[in-house]
Structure 1
Amino acid sequence: MSGALATNSSRTRARDVDRADTCAVLDTAFADGQITADEHAGRTADAMKASTLGQLDLLVRDLQKATPRNAVAKVRRIDKIWYLAAASVVVATVIGFAALSGGDESAPAAAPVEQEIAAEPLAPIVSSTLDTTTASGIREFITRYNNKFGTTVIDSANFYDGHASVTRAAPSSPNLKEDIDFRGGFAPRESATSRAADTAIFDLASVDIDKLAGYLAGASANLNVPDAKVSHIGMGSSSGRPGISIYVENALGADGWMEIAPDGRPIRIDPFQP
């Protein structure tokens, strides 16, 4: 195994980040067809229990390009392609509208419409709602939340396809909490409720989006749920420890979940048991 792992002795104790990087390599190898679903599940389980770098190296030594950097780079390429595709849809829509307007002599002059469109910058995500069960959607949500409230600190959040909910300290007092619904825009609920003084906070800015994307991509295999769809993602702190919970299910009723740290370290995995 190349990279940081190769510069250390095989007896060097493994860190959580080393285990997470190895799991990302295995996810990429499974997606590329190098290993089967059974091999992926077995090696992933072994990686999460490995105590030395040598044990991790044995799990990926026979794989092509078995480096953590390749796994992360692949996730970034996927995100980049998604963003380019979304921007292309916007451009195609504008061109199509201009062509239709130009062919209709009774239509109003096109200049005001062009000015109005030019005033709106192209955005990677153009719909009024986001699929916040994806890494790209959560990235955009964090940006919008920070732009709206000037902070990335929350108490907890739950993300779904098309909407999300946030609980945080009310601006008027840290002893009050407010719930905020998100469906393309933020809508605080009318009344605030009491908030414990020792409530643990969660910083959305601490989430490693690239690592999260890797876990989401490999969730179906890691959790033994064929054709899995992410049902929701929870973020918050439990017993003073921040964590991200990923829940998946499929059309046949199989489900599973895993918990990771914001920086991508694996905490717990609970796969589907047939």
Structure 2
Amino acid sequence: MPEQDSSRTRARDIDRAQTCGLLDAGYGEGQLDPAEYQARNAAAMKAKTLGELDALVSDLQIPEHLVEVTRPTAPAPAPRRQVPGRVVAAVAAAVLAVGGTLVVTTVGSDGASDIAAARQAPAPAQIPAGEPQPIAVEPIDPLTPDGVRDFVGQLGAKFGGDLRVDQVTFYSNYVFVTRMLTDQPHRKQDWSFRGGFATSGDPESRTLDTATVDLGALDVDRLADVIATGANQVGMPTGRVEHVFVRPDSGTEGLVTVQFEDDADRSGSVNTRLDGSVVDISHAEG
């Protein structure tokens, strides 16, 4: 971030995404448990200022190679716990960028960064004569019908058509899912999905009678209706979807929670079954 930025500076989508990337790293190293990880990710996606984002990662130990990238001219890396959150958030773009290059300039002696980032596309590989040109695929928002279908399709492709999950949460730029390990129903694994699957942390124990949800039964068209009309139903005409949470309930059917929020920090939700039938509505609070 430029030196003149302060904790009150409004956060951008890229700042929120970069903070989520740091939380991924912290979770992968065991610094956060699953509940903390999901709560902080949700808070990062709702954060309005850089100060709010800083608070979510300020207690994390940052890997040394990230510290060194942010401080290229320093004689030695700063202690891991003392790296300002905004400095780390800026370098997280290097982790999140796919096929791009992050260019970092100098860092002032007061610890504030003077960073200029530029995504430089790599030189295209030569295509053999007669071969078709590659097709550029745009990222899909997981909170849209196409995004949900894309995730479900790739989930089936990765796990041999098995669409059962313990739970899954759709955010605007990634999906967080927990499911049993293939051929090891007594163990579960957390995964993050950003166009592809990556493990989050190590496998954990899981009871054999753990309830699951079959995403093959999810009516995506009915879910799209709830996403489109739910803000009005909860009393927030200008509200937007914060996340969609799918998990088993106490009965035999799955439960889908579509959470809404608005600029006044109010929140409300619509709970449905997998087929889209409404269970209950929590009206705006806050």
Cα deviation, residue 260, structure 1: 0.3
Structure 1 distance, partners of 2:273, 2:221, is 13
- Is 1:221 aligned to residue 236 of structure 2? no
Equivalent residues, number: 162
Match of 2:94 in 1: none
Question: Contact 2:127–2:133 at 8 Å: present in 1 too?
Answer: no
Structure 2 distance, partners of 1:120, 1:259, is 41
Bigger Rg over Cα: 1
The two structures have a TM-score, normalised by structure 2, of 0.52
Q: In structure 1, the residue corresponding to 2:242 is in which secondary structure?
A: strand
Question: Contact 1:130–1:161 at 8 Å: present in 2 too?
Answer: no
- The structure, 1 or 2, with the larger RCO (C-alpha pairs under 8 Å, 6+ apart) is 1
Cα deviation, residue 172, structure 1: 4.1
Could you give the per-residue CA deviations for residues 56-78 of structure 1, whole angstroms, max 9, x where no partner exists?
xxxxxxxxxxxxxxxxxxxxxxx
Question: Contact 2:244–2:259 at 8 Å: present in 1 too?
Answer: yes
Q: In structure 2, the residue corresponding to 1:112 is in which secondary structure?
A: coil
Structure 1 distance, partners of 2:133, 2:180, is 35
**Structure 1 residues 114 and 134: CA distance shift in structure 2, 3 A:** farther
- Specify which of 127, 133, 141 is matched with residue 112 of structure 1: 127
- Specify which of 254, 257, 268 is matched with residue 266 of structure 2: 254
Question: Contact 2:222–2:276 at 8 Å: present in 1 too?
Answer: yes
Match of 2:157 in 1: 147
Cα deviation, residue 189, structure 1: 3.0
Q: In structure 2, the residue corresponding to 1:189 is in which secondary structure?
A: strand
Match of 1:182 in 2: 193
Q: In structure 1, the residue corresponding to 2:127 is in which secondary structure?
A: helix
Pairwise CA RMSD: 2.6
- Specify which of 233, 241, 250 is matched with residue 239 of structure 1: 250
Question: Contact 2:186–2:205 at 8 Å: present in 1 too?
Answer: yes
Structure 2 gap segments, 5+ residues each: 1-122
- Trace 1:1-274 onto structure 2 (pairs within 5 A): 112=127, 118=132, 120=134, 126-127=137-138, 129-150=139-160, 151-240=162-251, 241-273=253-285
Moved beyond 6 Å, runs of 4+: none
Cα deviation, residue 226, structure 1: 2.5
Cα deviation, residue 239, structure 1: 1.0
* Identity value in percent: 30
Question: Contact 1:130–1:163 at 8 Å: present in 2 too?
Answer: no
Cα deviation, residue 130, structure 1: 3.0
The two structures have a TM-score, normalised by structure 1, of 0.54
Question: Contact 1:243–1:262 at 8 Å: present in 2 too?
Answer: yes
Question: Contact 1:233–1:246 at 8 Å: present in 2 too?
Answer: yes
Question: Contact 1:130–1:183 at 8 Å: present in 2 too?
Answer: no
Structure 1 distance, partners of 2:151, 2:283, is 28
